[in-house]
Amino acid sequence: MSTSHLPKITYSPAYTIVPTYECFNRCTYCNFRTEPGKSEWITISEAEQLLTQLHNNNICEILILSGEVHPHSPQRQAWFQRIYDLCELALAMGFLPHTNAGPLSFEEMQQLKKVNVSMGLMLEQLTPELLKTVHKHAPSKIPELRLQQLQWAGELKIPFTTGLLLGIGETEKDWWETLEAIAEIHQRYHHIQEVILQPHSPGHQQTFDAPPFNPHELPRVIAKARQILPPDITIQIPPNLVKDDEWLLACLEAGARDLGGIGPKDEVNPDYPHLQEQELKEILQPAGWNLVPRLPVYQLFDDWLSVELQVAVKRWRTFFYNLHPSFLGC
C-alpha cells in the first residue's frame, strides 16, 4: 500500500565517526568523553576501512562527532586537521559530511564549510546558572561562546543544526529564552535547519545524579517551541530517547517532524540503541505518518554549497528520489 499521501516524518540515514573521545570539558551528564591523552585518535586508514564497509547500505550522512581539544592546546591544529581530513575522505568516498565538534573559531568554520554540507552545535541552555553546576568544569559551555557559533554559521552561510538539552537543571523559562535566542539569530540569517529537543537520559558513565527528563512533558515543550521558532525551522526529536511509542507519536502530533540521524549507535547516548528504519515504520505508518529519508542538507540551502558539494548532493537526491518518490524536497 502506498504511503506517499501521508504526512512526512524525516530522518537521515547516518553513520558516526568519532575522531577522538577525549575532551577538555567535564560535563557531569556526559556519557561520551574520555580524559585527554587517554583515547587514540582514529586514523585516516581506519576511517577509510569503516566507510568502505558502508557502501551499498544507503547511508548518506557521515557525522563527524568529536570530543574537544582546548583552543590553546598544542594539539589543536592536528585535531582540526584530522577532522578536516575525515570530512574530505568521506566526501571523496561519496558520502555527505556533517561536523559537530564543539565551538570552533571563525577560520575553522570557514575551512570546514568547504568539506561539509552542514554543521551543528547544541546550545543546550543559555542560562549561566549551569556554569555553577553541570557545566562548572566545562569552559566551552559558556552560553555566549556557543551563541557566537550560530551567528558565525549565519555569516558564513553554513546550514546549521542546534538544539536544547532538557532536564539538566534549567528552568522552564530557560527553555523559552533559549528558543527565542535561536529564533532571533535565524531571522537574521535564515540558516538553521533543525532544532533538536533532547531529553536528558541517564547513562552509565555520568556523575550527574538526576532522573531522566519526563517524556510526557515533551509534547508540551514541542508545541511551545513550534510557536516560538519560525516555521522554516524543523523540530527534531531523538526517538531512542522517547521509549514509549504513544508518546513518540504525541511528539509528532505536537509538531516534531524529524527524527535525526539514524545509525548503528548513538554515540552521545550509548545506553539507548537507535530504533532502526523498519522499527520506526512499524510505529509510524499505522498512525498515519510516512517515514522518509533526507539528506543532511535541506534543499533550500543547496545553492549555499560549493559546486563540488552541490554535485555530491544532487547525486544523493536523485538516488533517494528513485527509491522513495515522496522524498522530493527533503
The answer to whether residue 200 scores a pLDDT higher than 60 is: yes
Distances in Å between the alpha carbon of 104 and those of 77, 116, 150, 221? 12, 14, 11, 29
Q: How many domains does the chain divide into?
A: 1
Question: Does 2 reside within a domain?
Answer: no
Query: Does the pLDDT value for residue 143 go beyond 90?
Result: yes
**Tens digit of each residue's pLDDT (9 = 90 or more) over 108-122:** 999 999 999 999 999
Please give the average per-residue pLDDT across 51-75, as a whole number. 95
Q: Is residue 257 part of a domain?
A: yes
Cell numbers found for residue 279: 522499527
Is the residue at 31 inside a domain?
yes
Tell me if 258 sits within 8 A of 9, measured CB to CB. Answer: yes
Q: Is residue 116 part of a domain?
A: yes
- The pLDDT of residue 24 is 96
Answer yes or no: is 1 within a domain: no
User: Hey, what's the cell of 306?
Assistant: 560549493
CATH number at residue 282: 3.20.20.70
Helices and strands (H, E) in the chain, number of each type: 9, 9
- Say what the pLDDT of residue 3 is: 66
What value does the mean pLDDT take over residues 275-279? Answer: 93
Residues 281-316 have pLDDT tens digits of 999 999 999 999 999 999 999 999 999 999 999 999
Residue 304: Cβ within 10 Å count: 17
**pLDDT band, residue 328 (cuts 50/70/90):** low
| CA 162/CA 180 separation, integer angstroms | 13
The pLDDT value given to residue 215: 83
Determine, yes or no, domain membership for 3. no
Q: What pLDDT, on the 0 to 100 scale, is given for residue 55?
A: 87
Q: Residue 140 belongs to what domain range?
A: 8-327
Looking at residue 329, its pLDDT comes to 59
pLDDT of 1 above 60: no
| CA atoms of 109 and 96, how far apart (whole Å) | 17
Q: What is the DSSP letter of 34?
A: B
Contacts of 197 (CB under 8 A, 6+ apart): 163, 164, 166, 218, 221, 222, 225, 235, 236, 237, 256
Rounded CA separation 44/326 (Å): 36
Domain membership of residue 270 (yes or no) is: yes
The secondary structure of 226-272 as a DSSP string is HHHS-TTSEEE--GGG---HHHHHHHHHHT--EEEEE-S--SSSTTS
| Residue 186 dihedral angles phi and psi, to the nearest 5° | -65, -35
Res 18: pLDDT: 97
DSSP 8-state assignment for residue 131: G
pTM score of the predicted model: 0.96
- Dihedral of the CA atoms 32, 296, 274, 229 (nearest 10)? 90
Residue with the bigger pLDDT between 320 and 102: it is: 102
